Amino acid sequence: MSPLVILLCASCVLTAELNSSASKENAREEKLRSGLIDAFQNIKQASAVGGVEDDGLNSDLVGSVSHNGNKNHKAREENLDVFADEDGLTFAEAFGDVEPERRVSSTEKAHNVQHIVKAKHIEKTTSKPNKDVLSKLTESIRNTLNESKLQLSNLSSEATNHTEFVGIENMLRIVDAEILVSQWRNLQHAVTGQCREELQQYVNGLLMKKLWALKMEDASGRYTSMFYWGNNYWTGSAELCQVLNEQHDVSPAKLYNKSDGSILAEWRDDVSMSGSGPPFATAFYNARLLITTDQHQLIKTRRTLHLGLCLPYSCSREQVGALLGAVRSPALRHTVLAVRSPQHGGYTYMADPTFQVLLGVCCLVGALLVSATVYDMRLGRAVRRRRHAANMAADTAHNDHKLDIGYLGVCCLVGALLVSATVYDMRLGRAVRRRRHAANMAADTAHNDHKLDISTLDAITHVGGKSMYNVNNNIAISSNTSEERLTAETASQDGHIKLSIWSELLLSFSMKANVLQIFDQSVGADTVPVVHGLRSLSMVWVIFGHTCIVVFKYADNTALRAILEKSFWFQLIISAVYSVDTFFCLGGMLVSFLYFRTSAKGKLDLLTKGRRTLTSGVIQFFGLIGYRFARLTAPYLFMLGVVEVTMKWFAHNAVFEPPAPDHETCPQFWWRNLLYINTLFPVDQMCMLWSWYLSDDTQFYAVSAILLILATSHFKLSVGLTGVFFLSSLATTGYVSWSSEHVPSTEDPFTQFDKIYDKPWTRLGPYLVGMATGWILFKTNLKIRMNRIWSYVGWVVCAGTLLFLIFGLYRVELSVGAAAAYSALSHSLWAACIGWIIIACSTGHGGWVRGLLSAPVLYPFSRVTYCAYLVHPVVLRYVAMHLTHPIHLGELLVFVLFLGLTVMSYFFAFVISVAFEAPIVTMLKILAPQKKPHRV
């Protein structure tokens, strides 16, 4: 009897456990219930054959377990009928009315069992129970009980695992709708006034699942993916947040025709384009946060995140920062560094004095460009009319009203003669140019500049001391020819028209003349054509390197760079730093070559006018420095103003932060740029970071002017000083690298930017190498006889050195000493290779390289290189600052961006060159000392 009681009590406990876990697993519950039903059927069958009396069983359980004291076989049908078997026997009929909600403790269970055994003895029936059936029944229910307990244990284990696991999306939560709603009681104290009221409306809208509130939450940024791939920009959507300010009360279905299967039709009918906006104005905020965590397996170092939030416009940036600071994230600790908002920009163009000055300059220059161009065109029309009238007067005697075959024959003959003579003339012209280029280059080089070679491109030509306007902007031709020259005043007897100095200065702004200057395919006989190719290709390389630097800053997969750095071809991007050494070498070569040439022809006597050596040298020095300052400063100063204004606007209105604090440094330190001394100060105070090259190049120009002036009278002393400067630069670079333990690597070539990269005393070497190259070209008169074998050896050594400098650091770890030697020698070695290319190509040993670098198609790009260098970072920043989402970079996308940015950069460089650079160069030539005064 005792085993049955224990078994039935265990069944009651099992029923209670099943009821508690019913909400977790319905399928498993049904399986357990069906097992109990089978057990109850066995009990009924055993009772029918005389095994157990039902009444006795009910009375025992009712007296011990049920608190109702009810023996009338009452049951709660809503809870127990599910256990009924096929014959209608229910759980209540078998065991009595049991309270399902009552939980019996283990002590009470033990007491009930003892009470059943001792106090209530079950009467024996006339038929004895079948022990075999009872044993089998007991074993069956015991097995069912054990299996049910095992399944409940597994279910409990699964439930525990589910609650303990926290996904990365929960660990990286900072602020979202759930956090805002759950913590609003504490967060509301961080804001005040209208901001708190509208945030309360926002919270209520989230609780009621208002569409406008859900859209605001959707416009806010949060973790999505690629956190470990470098995605630090959780920007959300600034456009969606702004669009929410516009009401959309009209149903889109009334505005557009529906078309089955149309993606656009489905999108228009979606809730994204329907519904009204929030009951308040919205604004987009971009918060810069510094995040840390104690879970080092999640984040080992500090990371800076940019989080976008769509919140009420009434909240100031300070209030949003306070709100974010009060938020308690589940796993992260964050510090608010800054909060920006395009809608709370606080900057307007018209209130900025710098913009006002720029606007006035643009208006003035624009008026000069238009006036000069109109004046130029009017002069051209006047000459064409005069020439047409003269031709008509000479040909009227031969006009006939009838056209016969003889006349047609004459016309054909004349046409053939014209074509033949033109072809012959062109061939003679090419032959003369080749002979002139090979024979000494006898043309005047007094006023050539090493930045823009336009000595043969003047719209105003000086012949015999007279200023003449040249219609086709070509070289001057004698007055006996039919070439037209114009005057703004009176015509002389030889057909020339004298121009006043003011007319010449005005025509220097002619857009027609300046465009023709830039796109002219000819070069002076005294120039080095390969300079154009080297300058153009180096400029493209600079744009490529800067493009990669900027786009990686605003990418959501910045860790891709760590993968690309291991690529062999990525060294081409890192090695773009050597392109600046090419510019230094070209600058030193041109200033040296042209100075020695001009001095040899006695052209400098016009400047010094026979004064003594010391006085003459001082005059020459200040003349060279003044010429360069005037030559470079106009476009440079204009771009300084553009950078200051644009960076101020981007700092207050863009979603992303500017790549450099030019909006802070330019208003304070722009005068350092104007004096070309900004590299003598810390880099964090530098305006226009890329202007370091102009500062160094100008300082090198001043040093070279002293050395060149000294070389005309004390050549050996000048050479000695040049050698001392060169060795000092190498030693200084090596010492700084060694003392700072700098090791050049592909990961970050700018780690020592403020100590090594931009300082003039570490970059002087390439410029001095260029000066030596220029002296060699002058001394040899561009004629060097060289054995073909030595020429091949020179090219092989040059190519090998260049390839080593570009790819030599690939997967190589240098020691501190080796790194110091590499830093000291690498830039000068690069300049030496460029010097070899210039010498070999200029003296007839260049082969196909000379043809490539001297291609006329590169001349226009070379002439706008200076302006392209100034403007291309501004174009890059402009594109980046107008982004509202980070870029997902790929190799092809970077290349496409590079091509587009290169085209845009050269377009704006062309505009700035026409408006500022070319007019200044022309005016400097007009104002330069002449052999004879201008005739007015």
Position 523 confidence tier, pLDDT thresholds 50, 70, 90: confident
Give the span between the Cα atoms of 10 and 332, in whole angstroms.
Answer: 49
More confident residue, 447 or 888: 888
For the four alpha carbons of 772, 774, 778 and 780, in that order, the dihedral sign comes to positive
Q: Which helix (H) or strand (E) holds 260?
A: none
Position 559 confidence tier, pLDDT thresholds 50, 70, 90: confident
3-state DSSP percent of the chain in helix, strand and coil, to 5: 65, 5, 30
Pairing of strands 233-234, 333-340: unpaired
Quickly count: other Cβ atoms within 10 Å of residue 204's Cβ.
13
Give the span between the Cα atoms of 232 and 320, in whole angstroms.
Answer: 20
Residue 767 is predicted with a pLDDT of 97
Residue 814 is predicted with a pLDDT of 86
Segment 233-253 mean pLDDT: 74
Position 501 confidence tier, pLDDT thresholds 50, 70, 90: confident
Q: Is the pLDDT of residue 896 over 70?
A: yes
Q: Is the pLDDT of residue 687 over 50?
A: yes
Pairing of strands 233-234, 303-312: parallel
> Max Cα separation, the chain?
159
Position 557 confidence tier, pLDDT thresholds 50, 70, 90: confident
Give the span between the Cα atoms of 508 and 918, in whole angstroms.
Answer: 8
Give the span between the Cα atoms of 508 and 496, in whole angstroms.
Answer: 19
Position 570 confidence tier, pLDDT thresholds 50, 70, 90: confident
For the ranges 551-555, 560-564, 642-646, the lowest mean pLDDT is seen at: 560-564
Q: Which two tokens stand for residue 457?
A: 């491109």
The residue behind tokens 């027609």 is: 512
Q: Is the pLDDT of residue 534 over 60?
A: yes
Residue 666 is predicted with a pLDDT of 94
Q: How far is CA 925 from the centre of its chain?
A: 41
Cβ atoms 862, 530 nearer than 8 A: no
Cβ atoms 279, 337 nearer than 8 A: no
More confident residue, 839 or 120: 839
Give the span between the Cα atoms of 328 and 318, in whole angstroms.
Answer: 18
Q: Which two tokens stand for residue 292?
A: 């840390």
Q: Is the pLDDT of residue 313 over 90?
A: yes
Long-range interactions of 411-414: CB distance < 8 A, separation 24+: none
Long-range interactions of 804-807: CB distance < 8 A, separation 24+: 805/575, 805/578, 805/829, 805/830, 806/571, 806/572, 806/575, 806/578, 807/568, 807/571, 807/575
Position 561 confidence tier, pLDDT thresholds 50, 70, 90: confident
Burial 2-41 (b: 16+ CB within 10 A, else e): eebbebbbebbebbbebeebeeebeebbeebbebbbebbe
Residue among 927, 821, 828, 883 at smallest CA distance from 659: 883
Cβ atoms 474, 338 nearer than 8 A: no
Segment 293-321 mean pLDDT: 86
Most confident among 40-49, 395-404, 727-736 (mean pLDDT): 727-736
Give the span between the Cα atoms of 868 and 546, in whole angstroms.
Answer: 13
Q: Is the pLDDT of residue 234 over 60?
A: yes
Question: pLDDT > 90: what percent of the chain?
Answer: 41
Q: Is the pLDDT of residue 198 over 90?
A: yes
Q: Please count the CA atoms within 13 angstroms of the CA of 25 that sit on its side-chain side.
A: 18
Quickly count: other Cβ atoms within 10 Å of residue 150's Cβ.
10
Question: Rounded mean pLDDT of the chain?
Answer: 76
Q: Which two tokens stand for residue 61?
A: 């359980």
Q: Is the pLDDT of residue 543 over 60?
A: yes
Quickly count: other Cβ atoms within 10 Å of residue 527's Cβ.
22
Q: Which two tokens stand for residue 602?
A: 């006695």
**125 secondary structure, DSSP code:** P
Residue 755 is predicted with a pLDDT of 87
Segment 286-314 mean pLDDT: 86
Residue 76 is predicted with a pLDDT of 39
Residue type for position 666: C
Segment 876-900 mean pLDDT: 90
Name the E strands within 538-583. Answer: none
Query: What three-state secondary structure class fits 284?
Result: strand
Give the span between the Cα atoms of 778 and 898, in whole angstroms.
Answer: 38
For the four alpha carbons of 397, 401, 403 and 406, in that order, the dihedral sign comes to negative
Give the span between the Cα atoms of 877 and 647, in whole angstroms.
Answer: 9
Residue type for position 748: D
Q: Is the pLDDT of residue 8 over 80?
A: no
Backbone conformation region of residue 416, classed left if phi is above 0, alpha if psi is from -120 to 50, else beta? alpha
More confident residue, 300 or 19: 300
Residue among 151, 146, 125, 135 at smallest CA distance from 28: 151
**844 secondary structure, DSSP code:** T
Segment 615-620 mean pLDDT: 85
Q: Is the pLDDT of residue 473 over 60?
A: no
Question: What's this model's pTM, rounded to 2 decimal places?
Answer: 0.72
Residue type for position 447: H
pLDDT tens digit string along 59-104? 333 333 334 444 344 433 443 343 344 444 443 443 344 444 444 4
Give the span between the Cα atoms of 255 and 274, in whole angstroms.
Answer: 12
Give the span between the Cα atoms of 264 and 286, in whole angstroms.
Answer: 31
Q: Please count the CA atoms within 13 angstroms of the CA of 209 that sit on its side-chain side.
A: 0
Give the span between the Cα atoms of 916 and 899, in whole angstroms.
Answer: 26
What phi, psi does 424 have (nearest 5°)?
-65, -40
Position 748 confidence tier, pLDDT thresholds 50, 70, 90: low
Position 622 confidence tier, pLDDT thresholds 50, 70, 90: very high
Residue 510 is predicted with a pLDDT of 92
Cβ atoms 59, 71 nearer than 8 A: yes
Segment 308-318 mean pLDDT: 93
Q: Is the pLDDT of residue 683 over 60?
A: yes
Residue 890 is predicted with a pLDDT of 85
Q: Which two tokens stand for residue 865?
A: 């290189």
The residue behind tokens 């006989």 is: 525
Residue 32 is predicted with a pLDDT of 56
Give the span between the Cα atoms of 210 and 212, in whole angstroms.
Answer: 6
**362 secondary structure, DSSP code:** H
More confident residue, 576 or 275: 576
For the four alpha carbons of 730, 732, 735 and 740, in that order, the dihedral sign comes to negative
Q: How far is CA 569 from CA 29, 449, 579, in A?
A: 64, 36, 17
What angle is formed at CA 934 by the lines to CA 930 and CA 936, rounded to 5 degrees?
Answer: 175
Residue 769 is predicted with a pLDDT of 97
Q: How far is CA 740 from CA 23, 692, 736, in A?
A: 68, 21, 6
Can you list the alpha helix ranges (DSSP code H) found in 882-936? 891-912, 918-927
Q: Which helix (H) or strand (E) holds 305?
A: strand 303-312
pLDDT tens digit string along 914-926? 999 999 999 998 8
Position 751 confidence tier, pLDDT thresholds 50, 70, 90: confident
What angle is formed at CA 554 by the lines to CA 549 and CA 558, rounded to 5 degrees?
Answer: 75
Give the span between the Cα atoms of 204 and 213, in whole angstroms.
Answer: 9
The residue behind tokens 């600046």 is: 580
Residue 102 is predicted with a pLDDT of 43
Q: Which two tokens stand for residue 870?
A: 């100034």
More confident residue, 161 or 352: 352
Segment 268-275 mean pLDDT: 60
Give the span between the Cα atoms of 831 and 848, in whole angstroms.
Answer: 21
Domain extents in the chain: 2-164, 170-344, 527-925
Residue type for position 657: E
Residues 6+ apart with CB under 8 A from 215: 240, 244, 275
Quickly count: other Cβ atoms within 10 Å of residue 417's Cβ.
10
